[in-house]
Amino acid sequence: MEKLVLNFFGEEITIDTPKTLQNLKQEIASKFCFSPSDAAEILVSYFNDLKKIFIQTEQDFVEFVKKHIYKIDLDISQESQLYKNSMKQLEEENAQSKKSLEELMKKNLELEAKKKKFLEEKSKKLKELNDKITAINKQKFALMKETSIGKEKIVKEIITNQKKINELEKKLGIAPIKKEKPAKAHPKPKADKKKIQKIAKKVAKIVKKVEQKKKEEKKKEKKDEKKDEKGFFNIGEITQNITNKINDITKCVIDNANEITNKITGKIEIKDIKLKAAAPQKEEKKKIHQGIHCNGCGMNPIEGNRFKCAVCENFDYCEKCESLNKDSHLHPFIKIYSPETAPIKVKCDLK
């Protein structure tokens, strides 16, 4: 069975070709949701050789089927009840929309009036505030002028009173009291390292002599003990005298050394009897990191301690640059004392 396309104002529905015009009207009613009476009033037409032909009778429908035309146009007659009802509905909708439009226009006019009133009130209040501000500014300037004039008068009175006081002091012969400046504290003498070293050497020599005397006295004690065994001397009295003499000598040496050092520094006190002269310290050779240069000052190779960045690749500092740039370069560093202990590769994960 051939197919037939129903076109109702651009809406197309395909159906099987009906056998009669009555069947076609029933299909139109079911597909486009019309009542049977409304479907009966629908105009059915088709185009043949650019001519519009209406199907009004069963014979017209049979001739249409013979021509094998697959499309039918549907239209509403102006005299039909469906057209009248739709026009009435449109008129009612237009009237309703017109009424709502009038209401909206009325509300718009009311809002415009409220807006105008609100703006007028606000402008009035702003004007009042501006008037108050101008009045306050005038009072402020007047007070400033009065205070400046009063200040000038007070300064003049102070100057005249001071002149009178000076004149009276001259007449009475009273000299003006001068404020005494606080006496400056005498700076403590700086310690001279060379002088201290010389004193330390002298004290060490004296202590050595005292120790030698102690050893000699011990040897004598041993000899005296042997003699005492034979009954020649009183060992107790001799040892007591020797110890008293040694104590007197050591005390005298310490007192003299303290007096000399206090004169130079004002701080140093010698408490240990067994002082030794400071031996010259040997300078340690700085380690040289061959092939490594400093990314701060450019030292190549780095001498002394090397600081390798644990995050940046091929980034090193010498001791001086590490202390200067520790706040700017915030990555952790590895301190390498000698090139023999340097790591080959470093991996560091930051938080």
Question: CA-CA distance, 2 to 210, in Å (whole number)?
Answer: 144
User: Helices (DSSP H) in the chain: which residue ranges?
Assistant: 21-32, 36-41, 58-66, 81-172, 193-230, 235-264, 319-325
Handedness of CA 290, 296, 298, 299 (dihedral sign): negative
pLDDT reported for residue 270: 44
Using an 8 Å Cβ cutoff, are 6 and 15 in contact? yes
CATH topology of domain 3-77: Ubiquitin-like (UB roll) (3.10.20)
Q: Which residues contact 288 (CB under 8 A, 6 or more apart)?
A: 301, 302, 303, 339
Res. 131: pLDDT tops 70: yes
Handedness of CA 322, 328, 334, 339 (dihedral sign): negative
Tokens of 285: 């050779």
Average pLDDT estimate for 20-27: 87
Res. 111: pLDDT tops 90: yes
pTM equals 0.28
Which of 239-242's residues contact partners 24+ apart within 8 Å by CB, and which partners?
242/217
Res. 63: pLDDT tops 70: yes
Tell me: the pLDDT tens digits for 277-332?
344 455 667 889 998 999 989 999 999 999 999 888 889 999 999 888 878 888 88
Q: Which of 53, 69, 65, 56 is nearest to 25 (CA)?
A: 56
Element (H, E) at 3: strand 3-8
State the CATH class of domain 288-341: alpha beta
**pLDDT, averaged across the chain:** 79
Please return the burial class of 136, using the count of CB atoms within 10 Å of its CB with bins 0-12, 13-18 and 19+: exposed
Average pLDDT estimate for 238-263: 66
Least confident range from 74-88, 226-240, 268-282, 284-298: namely 268-282
* Residue whose token pair is 């001519």: 51
Handedness of CA 226, 228, 231, 233 (dihedral sign): positive
pLDDT reported for residue 275: 41
